[in-house]
Amino acid sequence: MKPEERPKVAFFDFAGCEGDQLQIANLEEKILDLLNIVEVVSFREVMTEHSDDYDVAFIEGSITDTHNEERLKEIRENAEVLVAIGACATIGGINSIRNVQNFEKVQDRVYGDKRDHYEAWEKAKPAKAVVEVDYEVHGCPIDRDEFLHVVQSLVMGREPHIPDHPVCVECKLNENVCAFERDEFCVGPVTRAGCDSCCVNEGTICWGCRGMIDNPNEEAHEEVLEEYGLTVEEVIKKFDLYFAWQKEVREDE
Amino acid sequence: MKVIKKEDLDDFVDELIAKDEREVVGVKSKDSKYVFDKLGKAEELELEYDVTILPPKKYFMPQRETLVEYETREGIEMKAVNEVVPRIIIGIHPYDLESIKQMDKVFADSPEDGNYLEKREKSILIGVNMQQFSEWSFAGSMGTATIEDGYDLMLTDLGDRYAVEIGSSKGRELLEEGSLKIRDAEPEEIEEVEKIEENIQDEFEKELDFSPRNLPWLLAEEYGDEDFWEENAEDCYSCGTCNIVCPTCYCFDVQDFNDISLEEGERMRQWDGCMLEAFAEVAGGENFREERAERYRHRFMRKGRYLYNRFGDIACVGCGRCASQCVPDIADPTNIFNKLWSDKDE
Ligand code: SF4
Ligand code: SF4
Ligand code: SF4
Ligand code: SF4
Ligand code: SF4
């Protein structure tokens, strides 16, 4: 691709830990390949310059107040393509735990006695709750290879391959001993694959950071977890680490 | 039939690991379960095991495999790829040997699948008669608890020795390799093996209440009982586990992955399964098995009817892997088949 043909891309962060941008900054030798196909005009993690002339906007973090909302809408206006990266931006992420907690307590904990200075929403939202999102890179944090795959797909105008089946598929391909056979519990059966079941490969469980698949069987999973001995509160907690926003939307439908 | 002392078999395996150019793989423990994996030394081999998480099929059709590499620098250049690692596979149970016989037919059917066939051709299969039994297995009902052929060598534990049955010239050649201390089996030893094989038939906790020969008819008969399938599929996650762990599931999905350079890429295949929601989706987004219950029913139809009609085999070998690894515990074929059998007159 000729240098002047490369789409201009910019990164923006909202409420998140910037862990995803860090993943990108740490692409190492692949960063050069990336720069062959896109031109980065704004990326706080690695450069001080900033430009509002961009084609593709990458959004990290969730939307938690009106100021955020307006800023995101402006970015959407400017950008031809908008990509949400990381669980906070795709599904509300860890931030959305507070969606199911007592809001005043959350404010107290986060802002202490300064809480009245902040006009934060009661619920954290993903980018797609506010604007149209063209592509999503799931995960907390995102997977570098999947990020590159999405970028090259969008540059070539193709649909990226993002699985819509549960993590169990990859977990079984990797021949792991299932968490349920180790007296542990796991939300892999309702979580979107694509991470190569990396957490279970390391001997732990899936916490659901890639969000639920499009058509999860949550009722069954709640029943199953209860059958395996979890209490209702524990079941809800399991699900709400990452799924709070998605669950609410599904309940409203 | 031949006989070899256990310690001599160990030496033989160690010698193969050290000298044979083929990769030596066998059953090893993984946490509380078992898997087929590369052997570093004979000691790691566990010939007393119940069942492995995945069947040995993964050696002929890997979970993920590159089929084609392409370059687009000057026009499109494609190169077919088949990464064949010749292997000696030790410790295959009879039901898995039966499934390999079935898969050999499927992949040799036109169009022939060279990637499978070549890997299969370059493998040596060493079977072992079962000594432990998964509580989910019903191989006894499926006629797969023991097997007459389909192996290159077949071992039976006789305490301090193994009986070795030779199943092919490949197997015989392997025995001639190296400094193997082996002798002919004596009549009492042959009788002992026969006794063991007879007793194995009764070791299974699960069973089918009828002859599996009835399955194609039964499934055709009960296909239309929508309520039955819906009820039983209610807790299904569509997670595909029951497909992926099954030795007779062979579906795959093919996708192109471009390198970030945009100048080269790979066409990969990965195991797929009919329980997954996107499986029956065709271009344009239409899905002809959209409902969980339809997919759930389809798997049983495949195992008990469709493959029989095409290749003459009941494509369930009774290993019990699907049943034991399904988290909501709804995949057990004996449960479904027996229920259908007892419902059939209603
Ligand atoms: S998705 Fe995870 S890694 Fe990304 S910003 Fe949110 S918390 Fe950080
Ligand atoms: S460990 Fe979790 S992701 Fe893996 S198979 Fe079990 S339930 Fe599925
Ligand atoms: S296994 Fe689960 S928690 Fe871990 S990366 Fe994958 S989706 Fe996230
Ligand atoms: S039957 Fe069980 S293993 Fe199979 S797809 Fe459904 S939940 Fe998964
Ligand atoms: S259907 Fe289940 S029991 Fe039958 S061969 Fe497949 S995994 Fe084994």
Question: Does the CB atom of residue B248 touch ligand 5 within 6 A?
Answer: yes
User: Is any ligand 1 atom within 6 A of the Cβ of residue A87?
Assistant: yes
Position A32 confidence tier, pLDDT thresholds 50, 70, 90: confident
Whether the pLDDT of residue A233 is over 90: the answer is no
Which pLDDT score, from 0 to 100, does residue A28 have? 84
The ranges assigned to domains in chain B are: 2-200, 212-343
Residue B223 Rama label (left phi>0; alpha psi -120 to 50; beta): alpha
Q: What is the pLDDT of residues B230-278, one digit of tens each?
A: 999 999 999 999 999 999 999 999 998 888 888 899 999 999 999 998 8
Higher pLDDT, A102 or B339: B339
Q: What's the token pair of residue A251?
A: 């309940």
pLDDT digits (tens, 9 = 90+) for B107-119: 999 789 999 999 9
Tens of pLDDT, residue by residue over A82-140, are 999 999 999 988 777 666 666 556 556 655 555 555 567 877 899 999 999 999 999 99
Q: What is the distance between the alpha carbons of residues B266 and B259, in angstroms, rounded to a whole number?
A: 8
Which bound ligand lies closest to the C-alpha atom of A126? Answer: 1
Q: Which one of B102, B137, B246 would you pick to mutate in the ligand 5 pocket, going by the greatest count of ligand atoms within 8 A of its CB?
A: B246
Residue window 62-101, chain B: list those with CB within 8 Å of chain A. Answer: 63-64
Q: Determine the distance in angstroms separating the CA of B50 from the nearest CA of chain A, rounded to an integer.
A: 14
pLDDT at A113: 57
**A177 to B255: CB separation less than 8 angstroms, yes or no:** no
- Three-state DSSP string of A160-171: CCCCCCEHHHHH
d(CA A225, CA A231): 8
CA dihedral B202, B317, B314, B156 (to 10 degrees): -70
Of B53, B245, B276, the CB nearest to A165: B276
Summarised one tens digit per residue, pLDDT across range B267-320 is 999 999 999 988 877 667 777 777 889 999 999 999 998 888 888 999 999 999
pLDDT of residue A94: 78
- Alpha carbons A163 and B276: distance in angstroms, whole number: 11
Contact A95, A127 (CB under 8 A): no
Domain A3-156: which CATH class? alpha beta
The predicted structure's pLDDT at residue A232:
78
Question: What average pLDDT does this structure show over A201-215?
Answer: 94
Whether residue B247 has its Cβ less than 6 Å from ligand 5 = yes
Distance from CA of A204 to the nearest CA of B (A): 13
pLDDT for A106 equals 55
Binned at pLDDT 50, 70 and 90, residue B200 comes out as very high
Residue type, position A107, single letter: Q
Nearest CA in chain B to A174: B63
Which range, A27-36, A101-110, B181-190, has the best average confidence (pLDDT)?
B181-190
Output the six-digit token pair for A42.
Answer: 């704004």
Long-range contacts of B103-110 (CB under 8 A, 24+ apart): B103/B57, B103/B60, B103/B61, B103/B247, B103/B248, B103/B250, B105/B311, B105/B313, B106/B250, B106/B307, B106/B311, B107/B60, B107/B61, B107/B250, B109/B311
Residue A122 CA to residue A85 CA, distance in Å, equals 22
pLDDT at A119: 65
The interface pTM score, or ipTM, of the predicted complex is: 0.93
> Tens of pLDDT along B140-184?
999 999 999 999 999 999 999 999 999 999 999 999 887 778 999
Separation of CA A216 and ligand 1 centre (Å): 23
Q: Where are the domains of chain A?
A: 3-156, 168-252
**Is the CB of A215 less than 8 angstroms away from the CB of B238?**
yes
